[in-house]
Structure formats: C-alpha cells, structure tokens
Structure 1
Amino acid sequence: MNIKSVSKNLAVFSLLSSLLFTSNAWSAEGAFFDETFGNYQEELDAAKEDGKKGVFVFYYMDECPFCHRMETTIMTEPDVIKLYKSNFISIKHDIEGSNEITDFDGTTASAQTIAEKKYRVRATPVMMIFDLHGKPVVKYTGPTRTKEEFKWLAEYVIDGSYAKQSFTAYKRARKKASR
C-alpha cells in the first residue's frame, strides 16, 4: 500500500464514521418527540388508546438557545426519553408557526395564534402537560435546570401530585428527600 491509498482509505473511513455518529445523534435527538400532523384531538385519542397519562407539549422558537439546549442535552438522555415515552405523547409546537393546528377542544387556528392567544406563551421554552381530557395540568416556563427537574415535571403528573400541590412545592420536597 502506498501513502495515497492509505490517506484515501483514511478519508473514506473518517467520512463514514462522521455520518454514522451524526445519524445516531439525529435519531437520539428525534426520539423524544412523537410525530404529529397538527391535530391535538387525535394525539389525545392516541394517548388514551396507548394507556398514557396525557400529552406533553414543548412550545419553542427556532432561535431559542434554551430550547435548543434542552433538546440536545436533557431530551436526549435515555432515561428521560423512556419516562416521557411511557407516559405521554410528546409534541413540539412552534410558537411562530403559521401551520394550522386543531387544538384539544377542536379550535382550529395557526400554531402562533393558539400558543399566543389561548395558552399565553410569550417566551420559550414553555412546557405544558395536558390530561386525557385536554385540560392543562401543569405549565412550566423556561428551561429546567437539571435532568432530574425535567423528570420531576413528568412524575408530578404521573403520580397525581398536581391535584394536591404546586410544582414548586413538589420540587422542594423532592430536593429535600434526595439530600
């Protein structure tokens, strides 16, 4: 083997390796969210059929660095994906989107209008979990500080604590218990 063929083989190997690792990152990143066609009533029906606790909606903007950070760090963790996939249909909602959305109650409007007018989403990220009747049970504005805090958000709904206390009180109790 001469130097040209070695360097050519090395270049091909490097290219294939980078494609492999990039595709794994894409699939891991995309694994958190379920595919949606903008009909949240259908998502609710699917959640009921699958025995889930509700629908998790991640309101975001493309230019939001906090949204990007959550999507590329916390939402790629296997235990986080497993927790949310087991208990919720998880969808992304672009608050600047012009695409038509059918909301949980049948209201049809642009993604922007529903986020802005109905749920008063002004800054991102905003995370909301809706129960199986399409009613919001928790609304969290801003990124969670840690992976654990994001998991607590799900567990707060899963164990029914939302009916008894605020998420702030729940989080405080969880922090105290983990010390």
Structure 2
Amino acid sequence: MIRSILLALALALPLAGQAQVDASIVPEDAPDWLSMEEAIATAQADDKIVLVYGYASWCGFCARFDADVFTDDAVQEYLTGNFAPVRLDIEGADSLQFFDARVTGRDLGGAMGISGTPTNVFVDTDGALITKLPGYTDPETFLFALQYVREEAYETTPFDQFIVARRTGLSLEQAVETLMAPPREEPEAQ
C-alpha cells in the first residue's frame, strides 16, 4: 500500500508545478474568429478560403499557436485579407452547420481527418478540403503556408520549394533548380 502511494506521488510531482493549459481561451489580440456559418458565408461572398483551426482545450501547442502565431501582425493581416477563419473544438459536442450538414465539432474534426492538434484545415467555397497543416509551426512558416494555399501553389510546387523561393526571392523554377542541384564538392586541403 505504501509503495502504491509513493509511486502515485512520484508520478504526480512533475505535474504539480505545471500551469493548467486551456486552449479554449482566445488571446485578446487574436484574429476575429467567425462562427462556422459566418466563415462559410464570408468565404462565398468575398472569394476567400475557409480556414478551420482544429484545437482541443487541453492542447498545449494549441495555446502556444494562439499566443505566438495567430497574434503575429503579418499573419493576422494576410489571414484577414484572404481567409475566413473559424475555430473548431475537435472534442465539441455542440451542433454546427457545415455547408449542407449539421454536425458536432467532434464529428467534423473526424471527417476532416484531424487526428492531432493543432491542425489547420483549408476548405474551398464549396466545402471541399484543399489541404491541411497539422502541428505547431512558427509565424513565418505559417504565413508561407497561408500564401501557398491562397496562391494555389500546392497545385504545382512542393511546400519546401515554395519556402525556398520565398526566403531567397527566387522564382519557383529557380528554387526547384537550387534544391535539385547536386551538392558542390569542396576542394581538398593540401
């Protein structure tokens, strides 16, 4: 019995000093999140892409994504101008309207293939999945992802080549050539 108590205490101690995470709390300087119905209507009216941000309240990386990425000025500016953003609690039991279907957040997250959080899902104005970006990423890479989707570069270019082109100022063709070039051989020291 004493061993069981000591084991339970030993396992609980590392967690005792950690703050409770609640990713359902949105930072004050976050984007203006829309309801699912508003996001779809806005996307259809303004030719924008629906960005579905899949999160769970217990997800530490979701809270970090909210605090670090969605509050970034460049990300917010591009997001607001080109996307209709909506938060989706992938464990939510509330009913919401997604195009012609009435579903829960849990069911929609599953239908979108969100198996981990955070996951950003890009949806066109007809409700078709364009692509998704699972996991945490820094603001610069997320901004590249937004541009990649908005500019439809995913149709012709792998994401890593798109990033090289953006970071270096090269055209997409030049970025492909740079990535595909054989490594230079260093001269031997004499």
Report how far residue 101 of structure 1 moved: 1.8
Q: In proportion to residue count, which structure has more helix?
A: 1
CA contact 1:137–1:162 (8 Å) conserved in 2: no
Partner of 2:102: 108
Question: Counterpart of 1:54?
Answer: 49
Counterpart for residue 28 of structure 2: 27
Residue-pair matches, total:
146
Aligned-residue CA RMSD in angstroms? 2.2
* CA distance in 1 between partners of 2:168 and 2:126 (Å): 33
The alpha-carbon deviation at position 158 of structure 1 amounts to 1.7
Q: How far did 1:177 drift?
A: 4.6
Q: Is this contact kept in 2: 1:47–1:89, CA < 8 A?
A: yes
State whether residues 112 and 129 of structure 2, in contact with CA within 8 Å, keep that contact through their aligned partners in structure 1.
Answer: no
1:145-164, Cα deviation, whole Å (9 max, x unpaired): x2110001110022120222
Q: Percent identity?
A: 23
2:163 is aligned, of 148, 151, 171, to 171
Aligned: 1:121 with 2:114: yes
Q: TM-score, normalised by structure 2?
A: 0.69
Indicate yes or no: 2:131 matched with 1:151.
no
Between the two structures, name the one with larger relative contact order (CA 8 Å, sep ≥ 6): 1
Task: Say which one has the larger Rg.
Answer: 2
Q: Which amino acid aligns with 2:82?
A: N
How far did 1:172 drift? 4.6
Q: TM-score, normalised by structure 1?
A: 0.72
1:6: which partner in 2? none
Q: Does 1:141 align with 2:139?
A: no
**One-letter amino acid matched to 1:163:** E
